[in-house]
């Protein structure tokens, strides 16, 4: 089969029928022969783009690091990267960078001292028992609010501490903690005695198991209504005494008498009470051992080779199946991205984002919004009252494309080439201070939450915005030179997906101004729920090909928001493609659209299939089923097209084909 540069058909497996497996047909040759690189747990189309962006960023940071005359952000970028690459200096420092933090841990003798040290460590990047972040108030989107969230675990999710299938992982985790304690023995005097590392690791696992017992599961955590629980500081202190005392607030904010916690949203109130009980009931000695572990866990990637390797052996190999750690330069690029990402992004977009890409994207977004408007207007199951509010919300969507208009100010962030762990601490403190400074300030609706060099996109319900960073605007998702079918099947469906999050099972609870408000009639909410439950049932039955024959399967209740986004995204992309063809005076499958023997409609579906090319190691597939709200790639492709009548038309799908669903089982929401 011939190919065009816009649509890569080089991996088509003609032995697999489109009607049975679109994902396998367009990606089959790649799936059969491609080896996942040794330094990653998964690979695919997304990762090819991420590799390209990573290489582009490497050139930027190495250029900055090599310039002795660099100043400002260029100097910070270069110094942070060079400090990470200075393996001789890191080896010479040994465990010395841990001294101050472990000294604080060593002298903890009371609950008050414990929470104060917890706060100071959290401000510099050591996660604690209760987490926090600043966001717009879900019911008053014109102000910022601190949100408190459950935390305190070292494994991916509470299920890892509870379910029997993860018992081998728990055993290996305890061995990993003990091994880490042995490697850091000289720094742990007065906390973990020599020869007691196994017992100390057992204490860590025991405490985290108790913490996990209070965690909400992944489905409950998604619920926007259950997650909104406004509390004054006094109310929080009554419901969860000792969890967040004044000294802890001062420590995490870096400010005495901070007003940031005057009123907070407690995302999981029952966990807050549970955590407070644990703080009071568990002996301080056990908390001290756990605190030391949390310090080592956070800092190990920036210390000696032995600690780096031990950290990777568990978090890389055991949890995700990855056999080799990434090259050091890749990890250095990730570090720079984490703490100076928007400074890098300014240089990245100047080099790699042409103006014509932004212009073409703006036109695509306009078509997708118009497609949603048409679909909502024509929805038979929705009453006029709810339809009016849905259209009002759609009209208030804000698209952001490529990069932010303003730069982030890093001038207060001190970076030193000879102080890697200190750079990490200061980078974390800078970000904490920047976030807490939002409290009481006007909401900045121009802020971005992904850097331009990120290969991803997002919908933010609190600001009712869809955001598409520059790095995703490349093949196979987008090309300014591609035919419309390819772009609408790629980035068009991504745009539709992100808009769709505004109308998924949780996003639909927010109005056009970003406020959590019930704008649905009872009848429409019930019908929406019926359609959503049907989609959940479809996905609950799906087992990833990497885990075929096992008991592992997709959690439809956990992934339903992303599945609604995918279903609406591709469905609306089809409508938008029709709008583009109308504008050109044609139809979606007339002969003028045929390229490489495929009609425009067929190319759109092929483009969708190519976008989801990917495979994972079994360990990673299991981990993602537990913690990732997105379904596995094959189902993001196949399970979606099975519900779309246009797919049946494009390829003549009929009863007996594996992707065939009876018409009354096909789910249509938007």
Say if residue 382 is in the same domain as residue 264: no
Domain boundary among 284, 302, 320: 302
Token reading at 42: 């998964």
Strands 140-150 and 263-266, by their bridges, are: parallel
Residue 255 inside a domain? The answer is yes
- CA 620 – CA 626 distance, rounded (Å): 10
- CA 143 – CA 267 distance, rounded (Å): 17
The answer, yes or no, to whether residue 195 has pLDDT greater than 90, is yes
Helix pair 420-436, 72-85: axis angle to 10 deg: 140
Domain boundary among 302, 322, 337: 302
Identify the pLDDT of residue 5.
58
* CB atoms closer than 10 angstroms to residue 526: 10
Cα dist. 85→54, 331, 332, 420, 561 in Å? 16, 9, 7, 10, 41
Identify the pLDDT of residue 355.
83
Cβ contacts of residue 312 below 8 Å, gap of 6+?
A: 325
Say if residue 519 is in the same domain as residue 387: yes
* CB atoms closer than 10 angstroms to residue 120: 20
Mean pLDDT of 313-325: 98
Say if residue 219 is in the same domain as residue 367: no
Q: What is the pLDDT of residues 562-615, one digit of tens each?
A: 999 999 999 999 999 999 999 999 998 888 999 999 999 999 999 999 999 999
Residue 449 inside a domain? The answer is no
Say if residue 141 is in the same domain as residue 277: yes
Say if residue 246 is in the same domain as residue 376: no
Domain count, the chain: 2
The secondary structure of residue 399, as a DSSP letter, is E
- CA 187 – CA 56 distance, rounded (Å): 39
Token reading at 547: 């885990």
Domain boundary among 302, 325, 350: 302
Say if residue 656 is in the same domain as residue 567: yes
Residue 104 burial by CB count (10 A; 0-12/13-18/19+): exposed, middle or buried? middle
Torsions phi, psi for 156 (to 5 deg):
-60, -30
The answer, yes or no, to whether residue 3 has pLDDT greater than 70, is no
Identify the residue whose tokens are 């108030």.
137
CATH number at residue 280: 1.10.1380.10
The answer, yes or no, to whether residue 56 has pLDDT greater than 80, is yes
- CA 269 – CA 250 distance, rounded (Å): 22
Contact in structure between 322 and 218 (CB atoms under 8 Å): no
Q: Which helix (H) or strand (E) holds 44?
A: strand 42-44
Mean pLDDT of 416-445: 98
Q: What is the pLDDT of residues 433-461, one digit of tens each?
A: 999 999 999 999 999 999 999 999 999 99
Token reading at 124: 């510099």
Give all strands of the β-sheet with 263-266 in edge-to-edge order: 130-137, 140-150, 263-266, 230-232
- Helix-then-strand count for the chain, H and E: 28, 9
Could you list the residue range(s) of the whole structural domain that residue 549 is in?
362-395+483-670
Q: What is the mean pLDDT of the chain?
A: 96
Instruction: Specify the 3-state DSSP secondary structure of 166.
Output: helix
Mean pLDDT of 77-106: 98
Residue 423 inside a domain? The answer is no
Measuring CA to CA, which residue among 438, 410, 429, 412 is closest to residue 251?
A: 429
- Listed range (1-5, 151-155, 420-424, 634-638) with the worst mean pLDDT: 1-5
Q: What is the pLDDT of residues 165-188, one digit of tens each?
A: 999 999 999 999 999 999 999 999
- CA 593 – CA 4 distance, rounded (Å): 13
The answer, yes or no, to whether residue 1 has pLDDT greater than 70, is no
Instruction: Specify the 3-state DSSP secondary structure of 439.
Output: coil
Quickly state the pLDDT bin for 4 (edges 50, 70, 90).
Answer: low
Residue 307 inside a domain? The answer is no
The answer, yes or no, to whether residue 154 has pLDDT greater than 70, is yes
Say if residue 153 is in the same domain as residue 232: yes
The answer, yes or no, to whether residue 54 has pLDDT greater than 70, is yes
Torsions phi, psi for 519 (to 5 deg):
-110, 15
CATH number at residue 555: 3.40.390.10
Say if residue 382 is in the same domain as residue 235: no
Q: What is the pLDDT of residues 473-508, one digit of tens each?
A: 989 999 888 999 999 999 999 999 999 999 999 999
Say if residue 266 is in the same domain as residue 122: yes
Cα dist. 333→82, 299, 432, 503, 543 in Å? 10, 17, 21, 36, 35
Say if residue 176 is in the same domain as residue 269: yes
Instruction: Specify the 3-state DSSP secondary structure of 598.
Output: strand
Percent of the chain with pLDDT over 70: 99
Residue 661 inside a domain? The answer is yes
Contact in structure between 658 and 23 (CB atoms under 8 Å): no
Q: What is the pLDDT of residues 385-397, one digit of tens each?
A: 999 999 999 999 9
Cβ contacts of residue 86 below 8 Å, gap of 6+?
A: 417, 418, 420
Residue 33 inside a domain? The answer is no
Give 487-516 as a 3 state SS string. Answer: HHHHHHHHHHHHHHHCCCCCHHHECCCCCE
Identify the residue whose tokens are 């005392």.
245
Residue 357 inside a domain? The answer is no
Identify the pLDDT of residue 2.
41
Token reading at 532: 């959503």
Helix pair 384-395, 355-378: axis angle to 10 deg: 170
Q: Can you give the C-alpha Rg of the chain in angstroms?
A: 26
Residue 560 burial by CB count (10 A; 0-12/13-18/19+): exposed, middle or buried? buried
SS3 content of the chain, % helix, strand, coil (to 5): 55, 10, 35
Token reading at 251: 């420590």
Say if residue 189 is in the same domain as residue 290: yes
Please, what sign has the CA dihedral across residues 431, 423, 451, 156?
negative
Q: What is the pLDDT of residues 16-34, one digit of tens each?
A: 999 999 999 999 999 999 9
Residue 422 inside a domain? The answer is no
């Amino acid at each position: 089969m011939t190919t065009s540069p816009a649509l890569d058909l080089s991996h088509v497996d003609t032995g697999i029928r489109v009607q049975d497996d679109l994902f396998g047909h367009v990606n089959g040759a790649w799936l059969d022969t491609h080896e996942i690189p040794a330094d990653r747990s998964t690979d695919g189309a997304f990762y090819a783009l991420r590799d390209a962006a990573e290489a582009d960023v490497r050139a930027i940071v190495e250029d900055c690091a090599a310039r002795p005359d660099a100043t400002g952000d260029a100097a910070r970028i270069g110094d942070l990267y060079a400090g990470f690459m200075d393996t001789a200096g890191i080896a010479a420092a040994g465990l010395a960078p841990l001294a101050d933090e472990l000294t604080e841990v060593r002298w903890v003798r009371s609950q008050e001292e414990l929470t104060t040290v917890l706060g100071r460590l959290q401000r510099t990047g050591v996660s604690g028992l209760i987490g926090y972040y600043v966001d717009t108030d879900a019911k008053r989107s014109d102000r910022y609010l601190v949100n408190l969230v459950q935390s305190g675990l070292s494994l991916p999710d509470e299920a890892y501490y509870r379910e029997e299938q993860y018992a081998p992982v728990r055993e290996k985790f305890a061995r990993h903690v003990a091994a880490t304690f042995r490697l850091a023995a000289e720094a742990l005097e007065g906390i973990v005695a020599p020869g007691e590392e196994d017992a100390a690791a057992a204490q860590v696992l025991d405490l985290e198991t108790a913490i996990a017992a209070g965690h909400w599961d992944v489905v409950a955590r998604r619920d926007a209504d259950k997650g909104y629980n406004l509390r004054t500081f006094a109310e929080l202190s009554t419901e969860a005494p000792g969890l967040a005392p004044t000294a802890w607030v001062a420590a995490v904010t870096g400010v005495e008498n901070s007003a940031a916690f005057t009123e907070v949203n407690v995302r999981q109130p029952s966990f807050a009470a549970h955590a407070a009980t644990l703080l009071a009931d568990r002996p301080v000695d056990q908390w001290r051992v756990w605190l030391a572990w949390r310090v080592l866990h956070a800092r190990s990637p920036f210390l000696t080779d032995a600690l780096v390797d031990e950290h990777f052996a568990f978090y890389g190999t055991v949890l995700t199946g990855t056999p080799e750690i990434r090259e050091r330069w890749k990890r250095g690029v990730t570090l720079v991205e984490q703490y100076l990402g928007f400074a890098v992004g300014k240089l990245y977009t100047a080099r790699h984002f042409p103006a014509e890409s932004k212009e073409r994207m703006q036109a695509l977004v306009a078509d997708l919004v118009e497609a949603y408007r048409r679909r909502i207007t024509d929805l038979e199951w929705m009453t006029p009252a709810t339809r009016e509010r849905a259209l009002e919300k759609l009209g208030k969507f804000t698209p952001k494309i490529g990069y932010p208009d303003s730069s982030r100010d890093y001038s207060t962030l001190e970076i030193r080439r000879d102080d890697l762990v200190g750079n990490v601490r200061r980078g974390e403190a800078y970000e904490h201070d920047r976030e807490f400074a939002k409290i009481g300030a006007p909401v900045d609706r121009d802020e971005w939450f992904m850097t331009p060099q990120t290969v991803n996109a997002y919908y933010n319900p609190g600001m009712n915005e869809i955001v598409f960073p520059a790095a995703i605007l490349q093949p196979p998702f987008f090309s300014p030179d591609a035919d419309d079918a390819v772009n609408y099947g790629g980035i068009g469906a991504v745009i539709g997906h992100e808009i769709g999050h505004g109308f998924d099972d949780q996003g639909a609870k927010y109005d056009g101004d970003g406020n959590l408000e019930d704008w649905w009639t009872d009848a429409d909410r019930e019908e929406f729920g019926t359609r959503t439950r049907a989609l959940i049932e479809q996905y609950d039955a799906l087992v990833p090909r990497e885990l075929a024959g096992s008991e592992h399967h997709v959690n439809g209740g956990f992934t339903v928001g992303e599945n609604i986004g995918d279903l609406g995204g591709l469905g609306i992309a089809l409508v938008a493609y029709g709008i583009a063809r109308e504008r050109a005076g044609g139809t979606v499958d007339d002969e003028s659209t045929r390229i490489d023997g495929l009609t425009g409609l067929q190319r759109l579906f092929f483009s969708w299939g190519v976008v989801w090319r990917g495979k994972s190691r079994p360990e990673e597939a299991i981990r993602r089923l537990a913690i990732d709200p997105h379904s596995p790639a094959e189902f993001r492709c196949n399970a979606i097209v099975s519900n779309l009548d246009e797919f049946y038309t494009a390829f003549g799908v009929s009863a007996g084909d594996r992707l065939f669903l009876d018409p009354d089982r096909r789910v249509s929401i938007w």
